[in-house]
Amino acid sequence: MVNEADISTFRKKVGAILRPHKKRVKSRGGVPSEEIKKRVGEPNLHPHGTVRLEAHADTNPIRPAERYMQEHGSVAYTQLLVPLFDELFPAN
């Protein structure tokens, strides 16, 4: 049977063996698992997500023209504008 004195002696011996190695690891910046624990923190036992939804009205008057040109191409856009310009700004 193991008694408390044996356990205490064992812990002291293991601590003495591991202490220089622990100091060496700390001097190099720690081990990856320790860094992850520091960055992430304690795991959340009840995780929950957060959702954010934003809506805004697009007030840019050029946006429909840009969309039309992307969908139909610049040639179709030009063919649409030429008659409009001729109507708005006649040659005579």
Distance CA 10, CA 31 (A): 25
Higher pLDDT, 76 or 5: 76
Placement of tokens 């929950």 in the chain: 48
Decide if 77 contacts 69 (C-beta within 8 A): yes
Distance CA 72, CA 48 (A): 44
How confident is the model at residue 12, as a pLDDT? 85
Contacts of 69 (CB under 8 A, 6+ apart): 77
Distance CA 80, CA 75 (A): 9
For the segment 34-67, what is each residue's pLDDT rounded down to a tens digit?
Answer: 777 777 766 667 777 888 888 888 888 899 899 9
How confident is the model at residue 11, as a pLDDT? 84
